[in-house]
Amino acid sequence: MSPVLSIAIDISFILVMLGVVGGFIRLVRGPSLPDRIVALDMMTVLIVSFCGLYAMLAGDTAFVDVAIVVAIIGFLATVALARFVDRSHRRSDPTPPKQSIRREDAP
């Protein structure tokens, strides 16, 4: 591995870990549930990039498979949490649903 690539990978590891720390802070502090979901999704993407960087550093392709599995699980978790938030907002909506007018009831 060339020294330039080695330095770039080391700097990338530092930046990815700083991103994970920032995402964790947003995950803990919130302030709302959608903010926490986005922070969790961002942390998932950063962990996938960490696996990719380690695969490049170690020269082992097994970590690429791990990155793919983590990406799929992270995507499914984000979709599930988004559906949960959507359903909880629909239940808490105070406006009643519109009633349909039947033809014989119409003026």
- Contact (CB, 8 A) for 30 and 36: yes
Residue-wise pLDDT for 9-60, tens only, equals 999 999 999 999 999 999 999 888 888 989 999 999 999 999 999 999 998 8
pLDDT(106) > 80? no
- pTM (2 decimals)? 0.75
> Percent of the chain having pLDDT more than 90?
58
Alpha-carbon separation of residue 84 from 35, 37, 42, 58 (angstroms): 14, 11, 18, 39
CATH architecture of residue range(s) 3-91: Orthogonal Bundle (1.10)
Q: Would you say 65 and 54 are in contact if contact means Cβ atoms under 8 Å apart?
A: no
The answer to whether 16 and 53 are in contact (CB under 8 A) is yes
